[in-house]
Amino acid sequence: MSEIHPVYSSYEVLNFTAEMTRYVIDNNIKGDLIECGVAAGSQIAMMQKTQLELNEKRTIWGFDSFCGIPYATEHDATQPAIGEIDRYKLGLLESTGVSSHSKDSVIENFNKWNQSTDNLRLIEGWFEDTVQPTSKQIKQIALLRLDGDLYRSTQVCMKHLFKKLAKGGVLIIDDYHLEGCAKAIHEFIAQDKIKHIHNIAYYIKP
């Protein structure tokens, strides 16, 4: 058994996920807990650990291709972990091989971190195909964590999930420092409404 540890972030970022999970529960903000872009599953495991410690068991939804980040579009400045954007593969929904973790490996990590999976819904596929149909099963969201790196990966999640974020619910925007992600966010939220703490961008729905 080992402790949940960050794979793509820092302890500061991981602890902020715990803090915001605690925040929505303590403030009785009803709704599910969601991450789009789970990779190895550290953040959703931290949501689980935190809520179980508070005797809550809300549904946790984790969306991912489970085969890595796709190709950037013309709205992005770079291809994550690669650099230059491949103009011949612009917007292609095909894995670049970056941040590739299978669904089984996420379950294995939950087991290793001693976190239950019975309330965990891992939705495999491109957000562009999965988020809209799956959103029909989601009534309300208390915590929405976006970590898909790219413009379109962020835009499609905002389009179908942001409207379900409860009043007082929290949106964590992992990639706000990336041009494409920020651009997608600003289509829904004005720049001056985004809060920042230790380099983490977030928003609380009024």
Ligand X SMILES: C[S@@+](CC[C@H](N)C(=O)[O-])C[C@H]1O[C@@H](n2cnc3c(N)ncnc32)[C@H](O)[C@@H]1O
Q: Which residues bind ligand X (CB under 6 A)?
A: 7-9, 37-40, 42-43, 64-65, 68-70, 99, 126-128, 147-150, 153
Q: What is the smallest separation between the CB atom of 48 and ligand X, expressed in angstroms? A: 14
Q: What is the smallest separation between the CB atom of 155 and ligand X, expressed in angstroms? A: 10
Task: For residue 69, give Cα distances in angstroms to 7, 106, 138, 160, 170.
Answer: 15, 16, 24, 20, 24
Q: What is the smallest separation between the CB atom of 182 and ligand X, expressed in angstroms? A: 16
Q: Which CB atom, from 32 or from 64, has the smaller least distance to ligand X?
A: 64
Give me the long-range contacts of 183-190 (CB less than 8 A, separation at least 24).
183/75, 183/151, 184/75, 184/151, 184/152, 184/154, 184/155, 184/158, 185/154, 185/158, 187/155, 187/158, 188/158, 188/162
Q: Which CB atom, from 30 or from 78, has the smaller least distance to ligand X?
A: 78
Q: Which CB atom, from 51 or from 99, has the smaller least distance to ligand X?
A: 99
Q: Which CB atom, from 90 or from 167, has the smaller least distance to ligand X?
A: 90
Q: What is the smallest separation between the CB atom of 137 and ligand X, expressed in angstroms? A: 18
